[in-house]
Structure 1
């Protein structure tokens, strides 16, 4: 079974590309969604996060206190690095179990915004980067997240690995620039991956 990573910066359209692969029958692992699940359900990780960030990391009901963790970690590079160093290994283990449960598929996709930053690209056989021009990305994010300002979006994007670096490290590129059709690009890659297994 091939393990294909799919990544790209905020607003490039990774989710829509993954939906297209899913329609073709490909199992898709959404690392961000699974990370939230693991942070709420993995007892060992919950203990590690509580030890690192205090009892405020979880509500009295035992749910992840996302607002507190965001406020605490995202403005402090050292605390953010600590948070990622705790969460990413548990998500990696969760992905390994998920792959085992999807052994019958010719290939699987793992969608992760921080594929390179988290080192999870090392678990993959090949990487797809979805890319789009910055002005298109900002317009999409403003429509999707009306609570964010353009300045906030630019700050978040500036903290991510550059688009150029991601493209340089990938084996495949999908252009979601509102000029080129997505479906033919996805179908071409789907056929390439099936031909390899």
Structure 2
């Protein structure tokens, strides 16, 4: 098994890369999805979130109101660290469980938006970073995602910059063209980098 960390700034195209890797045969573990699951209804994670931040972060259905929780921790480092202390260990345990269940020779890709910010690079055998020019990221966020420009700029500024992500990257996929060009670049990385390395791990090399 080859354990790969996949990351990139908001609007860079990481989700599209993860989707293509899944099509090619990778087992993709979505950390955002797991983060929602570990504080889902009835979990001890949810109980801890309510104890830490109060019932105002819950919606009418009793589940976490993600927007309300985000507002509660955004710009408050202490609150963010408190939330991370609840979520990250649970996500890490579930990620390990899924990864350990993968067959020999499998490429397991852990999609982690804040891999750099959480200092998680050392957990992976290979780190793949998806990168795009800031102007294109901003256009995607305000266009396809419908964010206000000020919100998009704040989200970009709150994350690590390109230099920090490149510092931990083994492979950088630049998403500055069409979706077809991105697909082709992912296919090359899969064929020339990920599959050979995964086969080498299966062979004990």
- TM-score, length basis structure 2: 0.87
Q: Sort the Cα spacing of 1:62 and 1:103 in 2 relative to 1 into closer, same or farther, 3 A.
A: farther
Unaligned runs of 5+ in 2: 200-205
- TM-score, length basis structure 1: 0.90
Alpha carbons 1:26, 1:105 under 8 Å: kept? no
Alpha carbons 2:121, 2:168 under 8 Å: kept? no
Q: Output the aligned Cα RMSD.
A: 1.9
Range 176-185 or range 106-115, more displaced: 176-185
1:149 is matched with 148
CA drift of 1:59 comes to 4.1
CA drift of 1:57 comes to 3.4
Q: Sort the Cα spacing of 1:117 and 1:153 in 2 relative to 1 into closer, same or farther, 3 A.
A: same
* Offset from partner CA, 1:86-138 (integer Å, 9 cap, x none): 21111111111111233355211111110122233332111000001001111
Matches within 5 A, 1:49-68: 49-59=49-59, 61-68=61-68
Measured in 1, the distance between the counterparts of 2:187 and 2:68 equals 42
Q: Sort the Cα spacing of 1:58 and 1:22 in 2 relative to 1 into closer, same or farther, 3 A.
A: same
Q: Sort the Cα spacing of 1:136 and 1:67 in 2 relative to 1 into closer, same or farther, 3 A.
A: closer
1:194 is matched with 195
- 1:83 matched to 2:87? The reply is no
> Stretches of 4+ moved more than 6 A in 1?
none
SS in 2 for 1:5: strand
